[in-house]
A and B are shown apart, each in its own frame.
Chain A
Amino acid sequence: MTCPDYKDLMMGYLDDELDDAQKQSFEDHLASCQDCSGELEGFRELKQITDQVALVEPEDKIWQDYWSGIYNRVERRIGWILFSAAAILLLIYGGFRLIEALIKDPTVDIILKAGLLAIIAGLAVLFVSVLRERIHFWKRDRYKDVRR
């Protein structure tokens, strides 16, 4: 082994994470290598400094409110899903009634009626197509997790 091979062991040595054989091998190298023993000294000083740095403990209050901060997000999501589903439903229903009224109205021009029906048919085709694509991706998505 050469010096660069001992760099990683140096960390293990510093943090007391080596097994006996690795430790012995590293100490043997240290005894014969000025570079590595000098570098180790530098890392020891650095570790001493970094070990002094600790982060401020937050007040207990944040732990008391912590879970509710997460649960609120869950509730908000459920709220949004319900809201959007209801809004979409109402829009479809309202639109349907409006178109129904227009088509039944004898004073409305036949061209306008045909146009409206074509738009509805177009939307329906688009909707089914997007839905089919989504389901296809969703199925693939479920299997992609199987790998690991």
Chain B
Amino acid sequence: MHSVCDQQTLAIQRCQRGRPEAFEWIVNRYMKQAYSIALGLVGNRDDALELSQEAFYRALRNIDKLKSHSKFFPWFYQILKNLCFTHLRKRVSRSTGNLEETGYLPAEATGTAWFDPEAVAEANETKSKVWEAIGRLKEKHREVIILRHFQNMSYDEIAENLFCSKGTVMSRLYHARKKLKVMLDDQKGGRHI
């Protein structure tokens, strides 16, 4: 009887020996997580499906570059997020006016067209506003919010996936939530919660 960890190591070794069908085991284990992270990062279900599959495909193509001592998911996560952010940058590149000053995108740069309000379960006005605000966060802020709130990752897990310290995770979360709060307060007409 093999543990899940052993099974994963075996599957990766098989892929590295040129047997792509062994990758199916890995995909089945992580596809839901990959899809939902992609959805959080790009905000659109069709794109999330396409981008998460593409990320697995690229991971498989580059599986030789995964060291035997490194974990699969944090490595895969870099591929996934780079794909997602590149995808978004192509769409936003024209209207990032005051990105650096405010730390979040101007509303007109995003628009609900691609941060799809229908991606939110049992949506109401408040939830839609939060979702839209998340869509306007800077990349590094959005990803900590997604990993914490939608993936329920612990600080240690987030740190592992971002290749940073726990202190950095806390500090990014602080700034991310601060921006979120400012955006949501602005929508309420300046009343600070």
Contact = CB atoms under 8 A, between A and B. Distances in A.
B2 interface: no
Nearest to A43: B177
Contact of B174 (A7, A49, A56): A7
A140 interface: no
Q: For the side of the interface on B, what is the size category? A: 35 or more
A145 interface: yes
Contacts of A74: 20, 57, 60
B154 A8 contact: no
A51 B126 CA distance: 12
Contact of A42 (B31, B120, B181): B181
Interface in A2-51: 7-12, 15, 17, 42-43, 45-47, 49-51
7 contacts: A8-B171, A17-B154, A46-B177, A54-B150, A67-B24, A74-B20, A148-B67
Interface of A: 7-12, 15, 17, 42-43, 45-47, 49-58, 62-63, 66-67, 69-71, 73-74, 77, 145, 148
Interface of B: 20-21, 23-24, 27-28, 31-32, 35-36, 39-40, 45, 49, 53-54, 56-57, 60-61, 65, 67, 118-122, 126-127, 130-131, 134, 145, 148-150, 154-155, 167, 170-171, 173-174, 177, 180-181, 184, 192-193
